[in-house]
Amino acid sequence: MLEINNKDIRNLWLSNMGLASAPTGSLNITEIIKKLGFVQLDTIQNVSRAHHHILWSRNQNYREPMFDELLGPQKAVFEHFTHDASVIPMEFYPMWTRQFDRLRKWLENTKRYQSILSEVNLDAIKNRIEQEGPLSTHAFDTKIVGKKKMWSRPPHKQALDYLWYSGELATSHREKFKKFYDLSHRVIPDQYRNHRPSDEEQINWLCHGALDRMGFGTLKDIQKFWDAVHKDDVMNWYQNNNEEYIPIKWQTADNHWIEAIAPTNIEDRISSLQKSTSRLRVVNPFDPAIRDRTRLKNIFGFDYKIEIFVPAAKRKWGYYVYPLLEGSRFVGRIELKADRKNNTLDVINFWQEPAIKWSPARHKKLQTELKRLAHFIGVSSINWLAQ
């Protein structure tokens, strides 16, 4: 069984996730998303929304308005659910049609949606959109009945969600991140919407695509990547497609070994790896390179948790804390907040990782990257509030 040491596994992972090379050069946003598979969306604009920051981290020529062009006029991506709301390359749409059916059936089997579907006239919603064009949730006025909870949504929002999850509606565009729904046939080009591969083709494509992008993983890792196949689907793929992978063992940061599988060309991938750039990067908490916190800790020995939903008094670090990546090591954490009113990027807190010496040169790298980030979001100065 092929064994891959921790140094190589770090560089392989960062290379696959688009963080091994300097974020410079010509910009091709759709290629970045294709390589990653998808980019997660998030509403919180702490500094820059997660999807913008993720794309900028791969190429710092990216600017936020480019995203709206990509989703809207260019129709280069479509929006749907992986492990969370994400944008996915439009050419992947045929391989997502099975996911629409899975999510529709799942919703129809939940008590909450059974109730909503009996109360709301879905045809009336679709007819309004057909007649009036793309609509946001603000075009409807149903109200939450009973006690309002944190994740409560009014009936019309849940109905729109159902139609969107099931593929009958699609996101046509966003305005200041407000989502607009339209009929799918008016958003998705016919060449993709009218092509439906078999379930087996879709499962094989999703499993192979997950392993190819990760470079190595367990069956559970493969299932979790898109979150669009059941564990039984992955097992069937594993049993019937053994020409697509080989067994390996890879070394964790604390010198344990994990058995996994990898693409058959894994040795060529390892031999062609370049050393990860020494540039220091501010990594978004929702970045695909760190999304799986267990995998992150195993590969890098970096124990990280986002604490936005943790009560302030119980936080170990802070509300929105960004990991700091230098080369193939996480060297610290930083809590940032954009203050656009005062034209500053505020450094609220900063922590060094244990056993990492922060020399003047490393501090200078951080300051340089913070200036780049400030420029990206359109503020002029860094305001250090951290002691």
Q: What tens digit of pLDDT does each residue of 304-316 get?
A: 999 999 999 999 9
Share of the chain above pLDDT 70, in %: 97
Q: Nearest-CA neighbor of 299 among 4, 2, 1?
A: 4
pLDDT tens-digit readout, 159-178 = 999 999 999 999 999 999 99
pLDDT of residue 314: 94
Residue that is written with structure tokens 């302030």 in the block: 312
pLDDT of residue 147: 54
Task: Collect all residues with Cβ–Cβ distance below 8 Å to 178 and sequence separation of at least 6.
Answer: 136, 138
Whether the predicted pLDDT of 151 surpasses 50: no
Whether the predicted pLDDT of 212 surpasses 60: yes
pLDDT of residue 106: 93
Q: What is the mean pLDDT of residues 137-160?
A: 68
Give the Cα separation of 315 and 307 in Å (integer): 6
Whether the predicted pLDDT of 144 surpasses 50: no
Give the Cα separation of 181 and 163 in Å (integer): 9
Give the Cα separation of 25 and 60 in Å (integer): 9
Average pLDDT value over all residues in the chain: 94
How many residues does the structure list for the chain?
387
pLDDT tens-digit readout, 221-278 = 999 999 999 999 999 999 999 999 999 999 999 999 999 999 999 999 999 999 999 9
Give the Cα separation of 58 and 74 in Å (integer): 21
pLDDT of residue 98: 96
Whether the predicted pLDDT of 36 surpasses 80: yes
pLDDT of residue 142: 58
Give the Cα separation of 95 and 89 in Å (integer): 11
Phi then psi dihedrals of residue 207, to 5 deg: -70, -45
Band of pLDDT at residue 153, cut at 50, 70 and 90: low
CA 254 to chain centre: 27
Q: What is the mean pLDDT of residues 322-329?
A: 97
pLDDT of residue 114: 84
pLDDT of residue 350: 97
142, 204, 246 from 17: Cα distances, Å = 42, 21, 21
Q: What is the mean pLDDT of residues 74-92?
A: 97
Q: What is the mean pLDDT of residues 116-122?
A: 85
| C-alpha Rg value of the chain to the nearest Å | 22
Give the Cα separation of 387 and 373 in Å (integer): 21
pLDDT tens-digit readout, 13-29 = 999 999 999 999 999 99
pLDDT of residue 132: 96
pLDDT of residue 149: 47
